[in-house]
Amino acid sequence: MAQYTRFEIYIPVVYTSIETTESGDKQPVIHSLDDGLLRLFIEEATAKYHGITQANPLAPPLYKGWWRPNERREISVDFLTFLFGLVRIDQTDAAQRFFEGWMARFAVEEHQDVILLIHFPVQTIGDFF
């Protein structure tokens, strides 16, 4: 058996934000995930950790999420995809910094309060890479 850490990042592919217009009115605006930003993440993750897997990008979003950061705000709905990668156990600390950096970047560029990033140890049968 081989020891790895699995990192999963959940990213909205379609989401609505409330934005202020030039006249000061607030209105909902629908956004889509920036394909270029996602492609860059995949290229960097693949270069560092030999691969990354995304839920089928041609299918409808895999998950629907409801988010309410506090009781005073309305519930937001996101349609999410997720990507995951396996990292050798000895690369876990560096990979955590890498994924946290991307988590923060996705949050800013995709107008999100939170991007969910989880990681946990896994064992594979045989050596993966």
Interval 27-70: pLDDT, tens = 888 889 999 999 999 999 999 999 999 998 888 888 998 888 77
Domain of residue 110, residue span: 2-20+33-124
pLDDT in tens, 68-99: 877 887 788 889 999 999 999 999 999 999 99
**pLDDT at position 106 over 90:** yes
Residue 101 located in a structural domain: yes
Residue 26 located in a structural domain: no
Q: What is the model's pTM?
A: 0.86
Cα torsion through 36, 38, 43, 49, rounded to 10: 170
Residue 28 located in a structural domain: no
Report the CATH number that the domain containing residue 79 is assigned in CATH: 3.30.70.120
**pLDDT of the residue at 71:** 83
